[in-house]
Copies of this chain bind each other. A is one copy, B any other.
Amino acid sequence: MIRLIDIQKSYDNGTKALKGVNLRIDDGEFVFLVGPSGSGKSTIIKLITAEIAPSGGRLMVNGYNLNNIRPRQVPFMRRTLGVIFQDFRLIEKKTVKENLTFAMRAVGASPREIRKRVPYVLELVGLDQKGDRMPSQLSGGEQQRVAIARALVNNPKMIIADEPTGNLDPMRSLEIMMLLERINELGTTLLVVTHEKELVNRFSKRVVAIENGRIISDETGGYYNNETTI
């Protein structure tokens, strides 16, 4: 469960990225977060992953109060999340498989579990042939799918995806979205940032629209704020 209460975020250079955001995402929900470039979507994601700290307001993620979480608790909070970053963030010096293995090792999975789970997840994202490649040997879309695989690999309580299909062709995008929907149906909470109007409209889910650091609409039912679309 995620709860943002009157969250403010100003970056060091004075940019006010978030100007009082209230958002509550319950366990098991599937939420799209949409909004124009620079509106503060990634900022919300970074707050939830404790990569940055809020400048004001209260923030709760899966039972952890991020306002006064102890540094040694942060890794355990993060283990409840599977995050797909907008810029992928793969370890450049490890192969695709090693990237996934590392993510499982880091949360204490056994070698046996790892051997079973990694190939399975790679197949889900269509990279079973490319497990031994380095990230630099993959196309943009393939790197994005590795990032997706890594978020799925630990079967987290909640998946946070920042534009998970920005580099994928429409068919792949649809596949990934359907995969995420299936995962959601099995009980995982999902927060997906996306620009793809077609996808948002196709899946009738809750859509939160943000603009200029403020939430401007929050409705359920495949809605993409009309004023900002083409």
A residues apposed to B, CB below 8 Å: 11, 13, 15, 34-38, 41-42, 86-87, 133, 137-142, 144-145, 162-163, 166-174, 195, 197-198, 228-230
Contact = CB atoms under 8 A, between A and B. Distances in A.
26 contacts: A11-B137, A13-B133, A34-B169, A35-B169, A37-B139, A37-B141, A37-B145, A37-B168, A37-B172, A38-B138, A38-B141, A41-B139, A42-B139, A42-B140, A87-B140, A140-B163, A163-B166, A167-B195, A169-B228, A170-B195, A170-B228, A170-B229, A171-B228, A173-B195, A174-B230, A198-B230
Contacts of A145: 37
A195 to B, nearest CB: 5
B230 A171 contact: yes
A133 to B, nearest CB: 7
A99 B15 CA distance: 21
Contacts of A137: 11, 13, 15
B166 A167 contact: yes
Nearest to A228: B171
Nearest to A172: B37
A197 B170 contact: yes
A162 B167 CA distance: 10
A45 B141 CA distance: 15
